Each structure stands twice: as structure tokens, then as C-alpha cells.
Amino acid sequence: MMEWTDRHCRFFHRLLTRRAHIYTEMITTAAVIHGDRARLLAYDPAEHPVALQLGGSEPMELAHCAKIAADLGYDEVNLNVGCPSDRVQHGRFGACLMAEPRLVGDCVAAMKASVKIAVTVKCRIGVDHQDGEGDLEQFTRVVQTAGVDALIVHARKAWLSGLSPRENREIPPLDYERVYRLKTAHPRLAIVLNGGVTDLAQSTSHLARVDGVMMGRTAYQEPWGLIDVDPFLFGLPARFLSPQAVAQALIPYIERELARGTRLNAITRHVLGLFRGMPGTRAFRRHLATEAIKPRAGIETLRAALALVSANEAALVQSSAA
């Protein structure tokens, strides 16, 4: 998720679930080809399985970037056909590509021809007035014929003018039935549902109708919820018993990164929601928000923030015992 997630966030989320697929934020083909590639595409081996999401619409450029991703060891490359921002529309990619299924098909076919890793597409159920059942059906048929390995569908349409990207994630209504019907019509295509999923119970009920569920904002804002993914969906024991234990497990990674010159806040900003709904969470967030942004903030700042949560936990235990 652009401006929210990055490699530090992915490393942190991977501590919470071994098996969920993790996606990068969208990175444009221009940035991959002409930008600071080593920095943009860096990831930690612990992040697998990890997908690189690309923004672009030039088949040869996408094929080139897919090859770069595969050579770097990414497990999947995903094409963004869902982002409605103006900047993206001017570049003729993102959600506006829903109106050009044939071009998306060419992009998918070019990427498939250049790599062996999975090539997937993330789209909306429609854009503007091209949001009929037939439009999504035609889009899906074209990308399936081009060889797409999975289609991730954000279950709401996007208005390309008039709504901000944020409004386009909230105002157009969610229509899960459309995604279910798409799966019924394409039983051999892996369909992943996205949009408005806020807990594992909802995921489980969607999974009776589609092949996968993608979680965006809730995973970021309430990361501790991810701890249930392994036991509920993959039959594996949860990796940690408490958010404190996850935070402790992140410390060696943070120390490594601090030694490389990474600022503490670049990592701890992703952890602010870890104790959401628990005693001490406000003090934890406040401490990090004011202290971790300081240029020389070190690991002791995180330890002090964590002590605020433990202190609150201890107080709660004492008061309930009294």
C-alpha cells in the first residue's frame, strides 16, 4: 500500500504469519527501470512468499520488470489495475486499464513469456460506467486467456474522476456477490477477494466461495490480528503468544537496520497498531510518535515504549486481583 507499507512493514508482518502472501506497494515500471532499483526492490529473505506489484501498461517494459523481479527471487509479480489516482491515470495505468482489457491481456502475456513465477492482476469490479457484469466478464476472459495465474478483485468499482483515491476505497459500495459470481463463471481461475475484510471470520466465509482473501487496511492498522492466520487458515501453530513477544522478536532486525543507518521511526511507525485495543496502547503510541522520530533514537526508545504497555498490563492484573 503506497505510502503505508515498505520492506520493514513486510518483515514485521511476516513475523505474524508464515504463510500469507505479502505484496509490495505498487512500484512503477519507470521507477524499476530508471530509479534506484536496489533500494526500491530490496527485501529480506524472510519475507517469502512475497510479490512485487508493478504499475505500468507497456507490455515490453512490464516483461522486463517481471524478469528483474524473478531474477531477484520474488515469488510473484502482480499488475495493478485498481489504483484510481490522477497521477496513475496520466501514466495510463492502474484502474483506467480496466477499460482496455486487450492491452492488459498483452501485458499479462508479455510478462508470462518472460518469467516462470506467478503473474497475477489486481483489479476492481469496474470503472466509471464500464461496470456491468459483462465488462468484468470480458476483462476476466481476456486476462485468463493471456495466462494470468490469479485475479485479485477489489470488490468495488472506482470512479476515475470526482472521487479521491481515499473516497474510491470507501464510497463505491462493496459487491461481494459479483466476485462470487465471477468465480462461479471461471472455476479454473484463482480468484482472490479484496475489500472491507476486517477479520478472520469474514475471510473464512469468503473462502467458501473464492480461492483467497486479501486484507489491506485492517492488516496494517491491527497487525496482531494476523497472528490467527496461520492457525485458522493453514493449520500451523501461531508464531507468538503475545504482541509483546512479536515486538521482542523484531528487536534484532531493528538493531541490524539501525546499524545500517535506518531511522528508528521508519520501522516503528508500522508497529503503532500492534497493541490496539489493549491497555497501554495510547502511551505506547505516544511515546513512539514523539521519541522515535528523533534523529538519534535507538532501540532503547522502543524498549521504553514497550515497558509502558507492560506497566499497564501489570497494573491491570493488580487491580483485578485487588
Closest-approach residue to ligand FMN (CB)? 216
Residue among 13 and 154 whose Cβ is closer to ligand FMN:
154
- Residue 234 as a binder of ligand FMN (CB under 6 A): the answer is no
C-beta atoms surrounding 174 within 10 Å? 17
Residue with Cβ nearer ligand FMN (181 or 217): 217
CB 155, min distance to ligand FMN, A: 9
Q: Which of 9, 15, 16, 26 binds ligand FMN (CB under 6 A)?
A: 26
Instruction: For the CB of residue 78, give the shortest distance to ligand FMN in the complex, in Å.
Output: 8
Q: Which CB sits closer to ligand FMN, 105 or 196?
A: 196
Q: Could you tell me the smallest distance in angstroms from the CB atom of residue 196 to ligand FMN?
A: 5
Q: Which is nearer to ligand FMN, 26 or 142 (CB)?
A: 26
Q: Which of 141, 233, 154, 155 is nearest to 188 (CA)?
A: 141
The mark string for 118-147 relative to ligand FMN (x by CB under 6 A, - otherwise) is ----x-------------------------
Task: State yes or no: residue 203 binds ligand FMN (CB under 6 A).
Answer: no
User: What is the total count of residues that contact ligand FMN (CB under 6 A)?
Assistant: 21
Helices of type H across 186-242: 200-207, 217-221, 229-233
Nearer to ligand FMN, 218 or 248 (CB): 218
Q: Is residue 2 near ligand FMN by the rule CB under 6 A?
A: yes
Sequence letter at residue 110: A
E strands along the chain, which residues?
22-28, 50-55, 76-81, 118-124, 150-154, 190-194, 212-214
Does 293 contact ligand FMN by CB under 6 A? no
How far apart are the C-alpha atoms of 225 and 191, rounded to whole Å? 23
**Does the footprint of ligand FMN cover residue 223 (CB under 6 A)?**
no
Task: Report d(CA 157, CA 235) in Å as an integer.
Answer: 34
Question: Does residue 213 touch ligand FMN according to CB under 6 A?
Answer: no
Our answer to whether residue 96 is catalytic in this structure is no
Among 83, 96, 107, 123, the one annotated catalytic: 83
- Give the helix, strand, coil percentages of the chain, each rounded to 5: 50, 15, 35
State yes or no: residue 64 binds ligand FMN (CB under 6 A).
Answer: no
Minimum CB distance to ligand FMN, residue 3 (Å): 5
Q: Name residue, grid cell 512493514.
A: 9
Contact 41, 68 (CB under 8 A): yes
Residue 81 binds to ligand FMN (criterion: CB under 6 A): no
CB contact at 8 A, 79 and 50: no
Q: Which is nearer to ligand FMN, 206 or 287 (CB)?
A: 206
Residue burial 208-240, b: 16+ Cβ < 10 Å; e: rest? eebebbbbbebbbebbbbbbbbbeebeeeeebb
Paired sense of beta strands 190-194 and 212-214, if any: parallel
* Nearest approach, Cβ of residue 165 and ligand FMN (Å): 8
Between residues 169 and 183, which has the closer beta carbon with respect to ligand FMN? 169
With beta carbons less than 8 A apart as the criterion, state whether 209 and 180 touch: yes
Give the torsion sign (CA, 298, 300, 305, 309): positive
Out of 9, 63, 95, 215, point to the residue binding ligand FMN (CB under 6 A): 215
Catalytic residues: 83
Positions touching ligand FMN (CB under 6 A) are 1-4, 25-26, 53, 80, 82-83, 122, 154, 169, 194-197, 215-218
